[in-house]
Amino acid sequence: MSDNSYVDTSYSSASIDALRERIAQAVNDVRKQTPLAQSFTNFVTINLVANAQLAAGGTAAMSFLPDDIVDTAEIAGSNYINVGTLLPFYKEALPQIAYKLHKNGKTWVLDPVAAGIGKTRTAILESFRTYPPTIVRGNASEIIALDAMWGLAASDSAAPGTRPAGVEAVDEVDAAIEAARRMARHLAKHSPSGKGAVAVSGAVDLVTDGEHTFRLPGGSAMMTKITGAGCSLGGVTATYLAVAEPLVAAVSASLLYNRASEIAERESNGPGSFQVALLDALWNVTAEQVATSEIIED
Ligand SMILES: Nc1ncnc2c1ncn2[C@@H]1O[C@H](COP(=O)(O)OP(=O)(O)OP(=O)(O)O)[C@@H](O)[C@H]1O
Ligand SMILES: Cc1ncsc1CCO
Ligand SMILES: [Mg+2]
């Protein structure tokens, strides 16, 4: 970094080294501090989310009741909301929870699963615009859909041909870069710390705080053959958010997942054993393996 760099917005190699230190610190701090990240998440993958948070070194608590969540948020380091499976009462509960988390200065991660599908999901996701999460983690299609829903895109720059795609992405990560950057800036404006981040998952993950954008290659295509790889990554991102700032938390969790899934692929023999091996690898991967990962600034 240069001497007059107090407004520096580029990551020199020295800053990437500083980022690596903070990533190693986040991985170690989670393992030392066992922070609680609370989840309101879908019931397809709820068990994998809790187990992945434990394997990363944190602890888990799942809840669906607004007053319970608001009280638990007082003892949790961070929170996670995932809109994968919806029940009628969520339409009232989730906007209320987002408002209370905001009012109480609590950080949270949103996984906007299947954004763009169904009036109820759209109403819930739209309501988060005013009281947004600290981090949004989703696949490219979900980030593009949420950006459009929040009206963050200039009307002429909306990605043409983008459509909702169920819980799987139909868009490449690159198509979501501008949406992700705009969204990160929106999150930062409303965040308790003035900082926010967006993580777009795919073959090469992309993480941005609106100013800096990093590509994180690697991982395993076997991640798409188990359900909940993305959901549990969201939960683990919340675990890291309990000990680190949003950009560091999002990068650390994505790198942890990439390194762990590479180990799991080598040690497994199909989706069933892959899921088990992934939990083992989340537990065993070292802070150094995570922090020395390839990080490409865009
Ligand atoms: N082709 C791929 N190669 C390597 N890693 C991948 C690939 N596709 C996804 N991943 C990894 O899988 C994890 C989940 O990302 P994905 O984009 O599949 O999330 P998602 O679509 O929200 O998943 P789900 O909703 O099924 O939980 C991330 O760690 C991502 O890096
Ligand atoms: C399969 C599925 N359906 C709703 S949520 C979910 C988990 C992956 O997002
Ligand atoms: Mg998903």
- Residues β-bridged to residue 78: 37
| Closest ligand 1 atom, residue 138 Cα | 22
Position 79 scores a pLDDT of 98
Rounded to the nearest angstrom, the distance between the alpha carbon of 49 and the centre of ligand 2 is: 12
Rounded to the nearest angstrom, the distance between the alpha carbon of 158 and the centre of ligand 2 is: 26
The pLDDT tens digits of the residues spanning 71-124 come to 999 999 999 999 999 999 999 999 999 999 999 999 999 999 999 999 999 999
Pocket test for ligand 1, best of 171, 223, 265 (most atoms within 8 A of CB): 223
Report yes or no on whether pTM surpasses 0.90. Answer: yes
pLDDT > 70 in the chain, percent: 91
Helix pair angle (271-284, 46-56), 10° resolution: 30
Supply the mean pLDDT for the chain: 93
Tell me, using a 6 A CB cutoff, whether residue 82 lines ligand 2.
Answer: no
Q: Give the strand order in the sheet containing 135-139.
A: 59-62, 36-40, 78-82, 108-111, 135-139, 197-201, 205-208, 213-216, 296-297
For the chain, list the domains and their CATH numbers. Answer: 13-297 (3.40.1190.20)
The pLDDT tens digits of the residues spanning 233-254 come to 999 999 999 999 999 999 999 9
- Whether the per-residue pLDDT at 173 is higher than 60: the answer is yes
57 phi-psi bin (left φ>0, alpha ψ -120 to 50, beta other): left
Give the residue among 30, 59, 33, 22 at the shortest CA–CA distance from 240: 30
Residue nearest to atom 12 of ligand 1 (CA): 223
Give the residue among 98, 164, 166 at the shortest CA–CA distance from 126: 98
Position 256 scores a pLDDT of 99
Q: Considering every ligand atom shown, identify the ligand nearest to the alpha carbon of residue 86 and give its number.
A: 2
Residue nearest to atom 29 of ligand 1 (CA): 257
Position 159 scores a pLDDT of 45
Position 12 scores a pLDDT of 67
Residue nearest to atom 9 of ligand 1 (CA): 202
- Whether the per-residue pLDDT at 161 is higher than 80: the answer is no
The confidence band for 163, taking pLDDT boundaries of 50, 70 and 90, is low
The average pLDDT across 30-47 equals: 98
The average pLDDT across 123-131 equals: 98
Q: What ipTM was assigned to the predicted interfaces of this complex?
A: 0.98
Tell me, using a 6 A CB cutoff, whether residue 257 lines ligand 1.
Answer: yes
Rounded to the nearest angstrom, the distance between the alpha carbon of 46 and the centre of ligand 3 is: 12
Quote the tokens at residue 259: 């390194």
Position 149 scores a pLDDT of 97
Position 3 scores a pLDDT of 37
Tell me, using a 6 A CB cutoff, whether residue 220 lines ligand 1.
Answer: yes
The pLDDT tens digits of the residues spanning 177-196 come to 999 999 999 999 999 999 99
